[in-house]
Amino acid sequence: MVLQKLLDYGFNGYQAPAMPQASRSTKRKAKFQRRAEDNQLCAFDLLASVAGELLQEKENPTTSIDTSSEKDQLEFVKEGQDANKPSKAELSDEGSCDDKNLSPLSSQATNQNDCLKEFPHLGIDGHSRFASVITSSSFIAEKLVDGKSHKMENVTTTEVILDSSGYPKDSHLKLDGHTGKVKDELHKFGEVQNGNGIEMSSLEDPLDGKPPLLISLDANTKLSGHSDRIPCGSLSKGCDNVPVVSRDDDENSSGCTYTCSAKTNSIRPKTCIGDNRISKASASKFRKVAEKSKDNTLSKSDRDLRCTYHSKNCNRGQSSEINIPFKKRKLLNYSSVSNSNKFIKSGGTGIYYSPENCMNQDVCNSSPGMHKDPGISSSEACQHQTLQCRGSHVKLRIKSFRVPELFIEVPESATVGSLKKAVMDAVSSVLGGELHIGVILQGKKVRDDSKTLLQTGISHDNQLDALGFTLEPNSSQSLPIVCAAHSPHPSADIPQHVTRYPSSQAVIHQRIQGNSDMLLEHQENSLGSLVENDHDSAPSPFNTYIDKDMTDSKKLVTVPEMDKEELAVVPGVHKPRRSEVVQRRIRRPFTVDEVEALVQAVEKLGTGRWRDVKLCAFDNAKHRTYVDLKDKWKTLVHTARISPQQRRGEPVPQELLDRVLVAHAYWSQHQHPQTGFFNKGQGLSATSSLVDGMGLLVSDLCY
DNA sequence: GTTAGGG
DNA sequence: CCCTAAC
């Protein structure tokens, strides 16, 4: 029996979309699957990412940020697993040690906040630290002290904000709704004083709570975690009493508005950027990615001399390729999205946790447990973030996450327990993937980790609604690490072969606020255009290529088969082959330069020779197929025919559109004469191309 | 493998 | 962008 169940992992209300009944047509099913894949942006991934990063850091003591003592470690373990080994093997991305490339800030962080290393803090700077452990609602917090584990049960969530010294300030965790308990516990265990990490063990049934994650940022925080800070004066936007929109609060989401309060630097203008924290590891990965992009970046002059488009997205390449863009659609099933209203008070001084009941009315207006709008878009449902302005901090409230689509197939005779296990395994597999964090601002991906939030523009409150995060699969080519590299599960509970779906399958888009539609749009676009356009190679039509020859990331999508093993491990449980689910390519809007190149090529070659067009002008743009070019031309023609007001996306110069119309008209007239020079006989020979009529030489364009 | 079109 | 019929 294929359950195709809506798996509500309790991670803030995610529910996998229902699968079409088997009776439905294959096509429909396929489409559905595709859509489902697109929706695989889930909170869970973020969690996985955070957890993974955390572990990674732990795994790589060499990392600059990892200077803390051995005992001061935080681990993320699953229930039933050994406190230590399982989590490591399970969650750490052994393959990479990017941490070595951590930004200077990271290093700095090391010295100042050793205790933080264990926390998957999001963002770091010298001011304060925010460590968060996203957990499902029910966890047991454990602390490892000298190898000994001390449990703190009923810790539903653990989010810690550490101050510059690396210690939690105003520790304020809530345990089961009881504020301070955690704190007490922490103190009891010496957490606060010693900065010992907290180990999280999920309870057996962590499926009900959906604590949102709140990320606090520091205005000075750099994406990369660089230590260099922006002068206070540089903080342009004050945010006193600036109510930061708590998007989509219309629903149950709690709209929390903050008032800026001077923080460390009283003089510093308040920005709506607060204690933003992004995991160091993530930052390092950002950097890594950014560096990759460098290699693929052409100088302006080069580009001008070259022909093909070198994919500006090369750096995103592998990971982005497998990214699953969000689709504009409503998620039919998403429940208990806002069951939990975890809230973290910012100010960089404290451990905050607002339980599901939204205890803090001041900051949380949402009705606990409310989650209507069944028609809300998936992203909206799953990614409730709120940027709050308080002092110079920005609070990101990730209200919920979604679990990527998971298919579980179990025999009817299977026990509920086995079903749970199957689900757990699937979830575990997701956690095991190595993920990267992506930051999307205004629909564009921010790749420069070294930029500060201010420089990036994240500090501008007017852009907050366009800020989003993505969980990107590890770009590492070593897919094997996904499954093979992991050591066997020490715990009998978790099969060694727990599906370790490549994180590639689970991309998460986190958005902070704003209407979902817009965001979705942005998200899709974001993956196509990056903030750092300077890295983009605006392909100069007709020349040579310079592409970095990025490996087609698609291959990363390929999922190592592990079904059999899994089946063996979990009797009665069959996991569908991920490979069966085709990944929709990421949307990559054409740039003006690309459009120009396309127009130029078509002017010369005509509209029936897309392969030639591709070879001529986009040979190195691996992500542009001739079908893409054909499609683009189609849209260009359409665009050129409609009024400017009706056009969307990045505006195409009218001049180009005019050329499109001219070329289109021309080739419509001259297209069919089959000369026999070409396979399809379409188009005219080069010597009679439109370009020739325009006084241009073919040689100038191609070849 | 390409092209052309509908979705 | 995807899917596919038709070449």
Q: Considering the domain boundaries, does residue A102 fall inside one? A: yes
Tell me the one-letter amino acid at A404: P
CATH code, domain carrying A596: 1.10.246.220
Residue at which a domain ends, from A503, A526, A549 = A526
Using the structure, give the distance in angstroms from the CA atom of A669 to the C1' atom of C5, rounded to a whole number.
Answer: 25
Q: Averaged over A194-211, what is the pLDDT?
A: 33
A242 and A354 in a single domain? The answer is yes
Quick one: pLDDT at residue A419? Answer: 78
Q: Using the CA of A605, which nucleotide's C1' is the nearest one?
A: B3
Quick one: pLDDT at residue A636? Answer: 92
Quick one: pLDDT at residue A619? Answer: 87
Contact A214, A159 (CB under 8 A): yes
Is residue A224 predicted with pLDDT exceeding 70? no
Using the structure, give the distance in angstroms from the CA atom of A583 to the C1' atom of C3, rounded to a whole number.
Answer: 14
A371 and A445 in a single domain? The answer is yes
Q: Considering the domain boundaries, does residue A129 fall inside one? A: yes
Least Cα distance to A316 among A33, A97, A507 occurs for: A507
Q: Averaged over A109-125, what is the pLDDT?
A: 32
Is residue A616 predicted with pLDDT exceeding 60? yes
Q: Using the CA of A625, which nucleotide's C1' is the nearest one?
A: C1
Is residue A266 predicted with pLDDT exceeding 50? no
Quick one: pLDDT at residue A338? Answer: 31
Using the structure, give the distance in angstroms from the CA atom of A563 to the C1' atom of B7, rounded to a whole number.
Answer: 33
Into how many domains does chain A fold? 2
Contact A402, A44 (CB under 8 A): yes
Residues 543-582 of A with CB under 7 A from strand C: 582
Q: Considering the domain boundaries, does residue A279 fall inside one? A: yes
Residue A70: is it exposed, middle or buried by C-beta count within 10 angstroms (0-12/13-18/19+)? Answer: exposed
Is residue A632 predicted with pLDDT exceeding 90? yes
The β-bridge relationship of strands A213-218 and A508-511 is unpaired
A504 and A599 in a single domain? The answer is no
Q: Considering the domain boundaries, does residue A544 fall inside one? A: no
Indicate yes or no: strand C within 7 A of the C-beta of A316. no
pLDDT tens for A350-363 read 323 233 333 333 33
Q: Considering the domain boundaries, does residue A338 fall inside one? A: yes
Domain that holds residue A613: 592-701
Q: Considering the domain boundaries, does residue A161 fall inside one? A: yes
Protein-covered nucleotides on strand C (Cβ within 7 A): 1-4
A630 and A487 in a single domain? The answer is no
Quick one: pLDDT at residue A631? Answer: 93
C-alpha A430 chain-centroid distance: 14
Quick one: pLDDT at residue A17? Answer: 33
The residue among A600 and A308 whose pLDDT is bigger is: A600
Least Cα distance to A520 among A530, A528, A509, A535 occurs for: A509
pLDDT tens for A11-60 read 333 333 333 333 333 444 444 444 333 333 333 444 444 444 444 444 44
Indicate yes or no: strand C within 7 A of the C-beta of A592. no
Nearest-CA residue to the C1' of B3? Answer: A608
Residue at which a domain ends, from A475, A495, A526 = A526
A55 and A161 in a single domain? The answer is yes
Quick one: pLDDT at residue A31? Answer: 42
Q: Considering the domain boundaries, does residue A461 fall inside one? A: yes
Nearest-CA residue to the C1' of C4? Answer: A27
Ranges A271-275, A382-386, A656-660: which has the least confidence: A271-275
Q: Averaged over A176-203, what is the pLDDT?
A: 34
Mean predicted lDDT score pLDDT of chain A: 45
Euclidean distance between CA atoms A493 and A631, whole angstroms: 50
A190 and A337 in a single domain? The answer is yes
A76 and A173 in a single domain? The answer is yes
Segment of A222-226, A463-467, A623-627 carrying the highest mean pLDDT: A623-627
pLDDT tens for A139-172 read 333 333 344 444 433 333 333 333 344 343 333 3
A503 and A608 in a single domain? The answer is no
Using the structure, give the distance in angstroms from the CA atom of A627 to the C1' atom of B7, rounded to a whole number.
Answer: 15
- A399 Cβ contact partners less than 8 Å away, ≥ 6 residues apart: A12, A212, A213, A253, A254, A337, A338, A341, A383, A384, A385, A386
Q: Using the CA of A626, which nucleotide's C1' is the nearest one?
A: B2
Using the structure, give the distance in angstroms from the CA atom of A627 to the C1' atom of C5, rounded to a whole number.
Answer: 15
Residue at which a domain ends, from A526, A555, A582 = A526
Q: Considering the domain boundaries, does residue A460 fall inside one? A: yes
Quick one: pLDDT at residue A635? Answer: 92
Is residue A471 predicted with pLDDT exceeding 60? yes
Using the structure, give the distance in angstroms from the CA atom of A123 to the C1' atom of B5, rounded to a whole number.
Answer: 48
Q: Averaged over A223-248, what is the pLDDT?
A: 31
Indicate yes or no: strand C within 7 A of the C-beta of A585. yes
Indicate yes or no: strand C within 7 A of the C-beta of A642. no
A516 and A601 in a single domain? The answer is no
Using the structure, give the distance in angstroms from the CA atom of A678 to the C1' atom of B3, rounded to a whole number.
Answer: 13
Helices assigned H by DSSP within A582-653: 592-605, 610-617, 626-641
A510 and A403 in a single domain? The answer is yes
A632 and A520 in a single domain? The answer is no
